[in-house]
């Protein structure tokens, strides 16, 4: 009997194809919007997580300045020093290794080619901390680091811009007025979760950078890798104690530096993404509701328009319940079809958007299931009222209706 | 009384039936102490001027309506005490309807229209199809099974409606001005068809009509005025009496 009712409902839906399409349009758009939002949001979250994972979940950053996110305020708090790096490595058992890191933006020139790029002063330990291999040539030698020799390792983007696909090793590029021998090429990393191109970089030993590029011995960031098996929380406490001591901060005084856990950063970024996704999904959910009301509206019109048909059905022996069931099933079948089309459309949109935004396409089966069930529920809820009205029609009146 | 004898228990029996609509000053008394007994196999025509209560009586007999007071017994069962659902089951199993306006489902083939009562009866698809094809053949529409009502003439549409009424093998067919929308030739064809069903299949037929030519097919004519039976008898008797009194 149920199958018969479903068949009758499908027949009725196809008898009024245009009206059916218009009816489900609201549901289709609503479901598609929710699915696309959630899927793209999920993709961005995954991207952030993957980026942090790449950086190493046991990586910490030490920045001068208190509290706030972003670069420390060097004019107020004292900068970090190269000696701090050695102290962290030598005095703390919870620290595996650490590296200084300074960065600025410069033109890099090779022959007739030039490109605006980030120039970083650091040392070989940085590539260890962030786990970034050199794929061509070699890394910095201790002698180069100590003497401040002008050598550099370049990222894939800089290589493309200056050398095309040719071998850059052994060539000399000019940064500001410093000539610099290219000794290595970094593995391509792609865009970071902030959207910046991580491969658009030139690295040189920090002493050469300090002396020849910026003319200061300050260190702006220290990257720290915690010892394997040591919680980053413990490493943070250790680093804070040591740094307070080194910077002579008295009891009760605020830190004039801060230690940031990449995991915190990741969860913060993911948090922002989730809030945005939630908000957008809520807006999309409203359109689902509107779609549901659309179904109810059309079904009510349909009941009036089909009053005579209902009368005929009652006269040939349909019970009120059978009429109720037919209209209810019609609403459910309509909204379910709308849900399925919406899910496919939403996933398609999300796939295209993910492709454009270069984030992973991460469909969430749970959300798909929820969207499906929600659209079916919309059918039940908004289909019930018109169906009940149909079932309660007086057959005599219904037959007389023109 | 060609189709039955007085000793058969009546299929339809209305006793002192009143039916009123509205309240107070707006009250309309559609049936007023209406009495009617129909034996199995009878062919009865309900006639009378507009507003005489024919349609109300028809709806009552068809279990679409219930009496305000009085008794309606269908096969001895008190229809007034049945629930709406039980009345739907009674219509499904014992009654077939034919309307003046055909009342076929639009954009639905003749076959699907005829299958409709069987769907509600819950018959399996193969059996439905077989019975529907039989019914359509019986009304002379072999070969038109897959036509939509819009592709059929009025007479053909009424044949589809009759096929739909008889497909579930009803005990009674109720025809409300079945020829009202047809020309004389088609009307006579439809009446021949109803007569066949009455004679060959012993289906009881109750028909509302305005036309004496159509009422002439009935065994008995009930002439109604003001919700009551004014006179009854064979068509000849009733019409002769009418002409004398007019």
Q: Are B194 and B216 in contact (CB under 8 A)?
A: no
- Domains: count for chain B: 1
pTM for this prediction: 0.68
Query: Per the domain annotation, does B127 fall within a domain?
Result: no
* Contacts B106 to A, Cβ<8 Å: 309
Judged by a CB distance cut-off of 8 A, whether residue A134 touches chain B is no
- A 283-322: CB under 8 A from B: 308-309, 311-322
Q: Which residue has the tokens 């970094």?
A: A186
Q: Is A315 in contact with B89 (Cβ distance < 8 A)?
A: no
Instruction: Mark out chain B residues that contact chain A at CB-CB < 8 A.
Output: 59, 62, 64-65, 84-85, 88-89, 91-93, 95, 97, 99, 103-108, 112, 116-117, 119-122, 164, 168
| CATH code, domain carrying B26 | 3.40.50.300
The H or E element that residue B242 is part of is helix B235-245
CB atoms within 10 A of CB A305: 13
What is the predicted pLDDT for the residue at B4? 47
CB atoms within 10 A of CB A255: 15
Phi, psi of B176 (to 5 degrees): -95, 100
State the best of B59, B60, B64, B164 to mutate against chain A, taking most chain A CBs within 10 Å: B64
What is the predicted pLDDT for the residue at B18? 94
State the best of A19, A305, A315 to mutate against chain B, taking most chain B CBs within 10 Å: A315
State the best of B56, B104, B105 to mutate against chain A, taking most chain A CBs within 10 Å: B105
* Contacts B95 to A, Cβ<8 Å: 317
Give the mean pLDDT of chain B.
91
| ipTM passes above 0.85 | yes
pLDDT category at A260 given cuts 50, 70, 90 is confident
Is residue B73's pLDDT more than 70?
Answer: yes
**pLDDT tens column, B144-171:** 999 999 999 999 999 999 999 999 999 9
Phi, psi of A155 (to 5 degrees): -85, 165
Question: Which residue range is the domain that position B25 belongs to?
Answer: 12-103+170-245
**pLDDT tens column, A237-250:** 999 989 988 888 88
* Contacts A313 to B, Cβ<8 Å: 116, 120
Query: Per the domain annotation, does B133 fall within a domain?
Result: no
**pLDDT tens column, A7-25:** 778 877 887 788 888 888 8
Q: Is B59 in contact with A319 (Cβ distance < 8 A)?
A: no
Is residue A274's pLDDT more than 90?
Answer: no
* Contacts A8 to B, Cβ<8 Å: 119
Domain locations in chain A as residue ranges: 2-51+267-400, 78-255
Query: Per the domain annotation, does B150 fall within a domain?
Result: no
3-class SS string, B165-232? HHCCCCCEEEEECCCCCCCHHHHHHHHHHHHHHHHHCCCEEEEECCCHHHHCCCCEEEEEECCEEEEE
Q: Cα separation of A288 and A292, whole Å? A: 6
Query: Per the domain annotation, does B77 fall within a domain?
Result: yes
Closest by CA to A311, choosing from B156, B105, B22, is B105
Q: Is B116 in contact with A313 (Cβ distance < 8 A)?
A: yes
What three-state secondary structure class fits A186?
Answer: strand
Q: Is B107 in contact with A309 (Cβ distance < 8 A)?
A: no
Q: What are the helix (H) ranges across A218-319?
A: 232-246, 262-305, 307-315
Q: Are A313 and B91 in contact (CB under 8 A)?
A: no
Give the mean pLDDT of chain A.
86
Q: Cα separation of A32 and A38, whole Å? A: 10
Per the DSSP assignment, residues forming a β-bridge with A63 are A258
* Contacts A13 to B, Cβ<8 Å: none
Q: Are B114 and B136 in contact (CB under 8 A)?
A: yes
Q: Is A1 in contact with B121 (Cβ distance < 8 A)?
A: no
Asked which of A269-283, A324-338, B81-95, B189-203 is least confident by mean pLDDT, the reply is A269-283
Handedness of CA A89, A95, A97, A103 (dihedral sign): negative
The rounded percent of chain A whose pLDDT value lies above 70 is 95
For residues B37-50, average pLDDT: 95
Q: Which residue has the tokens 């786990």?
A: A131
CB atoms within 10 A of CB A167: 12
Q: Pseudo-torsion of CA B108, B110, B115, B117, nearest 10°? A: 80
Query: Per the domain annotation, does B90 fall within a domain?
Result: yes
* Contacts B107 to A, Cβ<8 Å: 15
């Amino acid at each position: 009997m149920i199958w018969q009712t479903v068949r009758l409902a499908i027949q009725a839906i196809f008898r009024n194809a245009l009206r059916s399409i218009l009816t489900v349009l609201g549901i289709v758009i609503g479901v598609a919007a929710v699915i696309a939002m959630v899927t793209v949001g999920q993709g961005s979250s995954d991207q952030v997580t993957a980026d942090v994972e790449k950086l190493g979940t046991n990586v910490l950053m030490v920045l001068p300045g208190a509290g706030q996110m972003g670069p420390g305020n060097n004019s107020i708090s004292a900068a970090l020093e190269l000696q701090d790096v050695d102290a962290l490595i030598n005095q703390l058992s919870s620290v595996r290794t650490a590296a200084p890191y300074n960065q600025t933006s410069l033109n890099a020139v090779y022959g007739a080619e030039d490109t605006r790029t980030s120039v970083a002063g650091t040392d070989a330990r940085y590539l260890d901390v962030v786990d970034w291999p050199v794929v061509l040539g070699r890394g910095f030698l201790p002698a180069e680091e100590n003497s401040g020799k002008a050598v550099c390792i370049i990222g894939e983007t800089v290589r493309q811009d200056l050398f095309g696909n040719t071998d850059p090793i052994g060539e000399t590029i000019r940064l500001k007025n410093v000539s610099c021998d290219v000794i290595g090429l970094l593995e391509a990393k792609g865009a970071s979760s902030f959207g910046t191109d991580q491969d658009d970089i030139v690295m040189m030993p920090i002493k050469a950078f300090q002396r020849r590029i910026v003319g200061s011995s300050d260190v702006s960031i220290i990257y720290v890798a915690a010892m394997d098996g040591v919680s980053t929380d413990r490493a943070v406490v250790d680093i804070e104690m040591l740094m307070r001591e080194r910077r002579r901060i008295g009891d009760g005084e605020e830190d004039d530096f801060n230690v940031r856990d990449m995991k915190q950063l990741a969860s913060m970024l993911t948090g922002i993404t989730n809030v945005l996704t939630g908000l957008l999904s809520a807006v999309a959910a409203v359109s689902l509701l509107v779609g549901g009301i659309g179904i109810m509206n059309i079904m009510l019109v349909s009941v009036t328009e089909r009053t005579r048909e209902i009368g005929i059905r009652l006269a040939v022996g349909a019970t009120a319940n059978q009429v109720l069931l037919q209209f209810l099933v019609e609403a459910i079948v309509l909204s379910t079809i709308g849900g399925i089309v919406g899910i496919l459309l939403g996933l398609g949109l999300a796939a295209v958007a993910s492709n454009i935004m270069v984030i992973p396409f991460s469909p969430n089966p749970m959300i798909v299931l929820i969207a499906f069930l929600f659209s079916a529920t919309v059918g039940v809820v908004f289909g019930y009222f018109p169906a009940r009205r149909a079932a309660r029609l007086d057959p005599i009146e219904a037959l007389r209706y023109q | 009384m060609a189709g039955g004898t007085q000793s058969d228990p009546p299929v339809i029996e209305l006793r002192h039936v009143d039916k009123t609509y509205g309240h107070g000053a707006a009250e309309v008394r559609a049936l007023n102490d209406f009495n009617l007994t129909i034996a199995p196999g009878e062919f009865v025509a309900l006639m009378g001027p507009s507003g005489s209560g024919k349609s109300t009586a028809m709806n009552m007999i068809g279990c679409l309506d219930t009496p305000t007071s009085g008794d309606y017994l269908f096969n001895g069962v008190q229809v007034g005490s049945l629930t709406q659902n039980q009345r739907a089951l009674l219509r499904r199993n014992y009654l077939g309807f034919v309307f003046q306006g055909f009342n076929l489902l639009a954009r639905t083939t003749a076959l699907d229209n005829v299958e409709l009562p069987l769907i509600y009866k819950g018959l399996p698809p193969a059996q439905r199809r077989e019975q529907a094809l039989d019914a359509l053949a019986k009304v002379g529409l072999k070969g038109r099974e897959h036509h939509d009502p819009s592709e059929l003439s009025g007479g053909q549409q009424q044949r589809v409606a009759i096929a739909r009424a008889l497909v579930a093998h009803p005990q009674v067919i109720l025809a409300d001005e079945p020829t009202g929308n047809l020309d004389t030739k088609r009307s006579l064809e439809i009446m021949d068809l109803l007569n066949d069903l009455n004679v060959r299949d012993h289906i009881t037929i109750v028909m509302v009509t305005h036309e004496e030519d159509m009422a002439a097919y009935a065994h008995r004519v009930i002439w109604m005025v003001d919700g009551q039976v004014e006179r009854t008898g064979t068509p000849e008797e009733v019409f002769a009496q009418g002409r004398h009194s007019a």
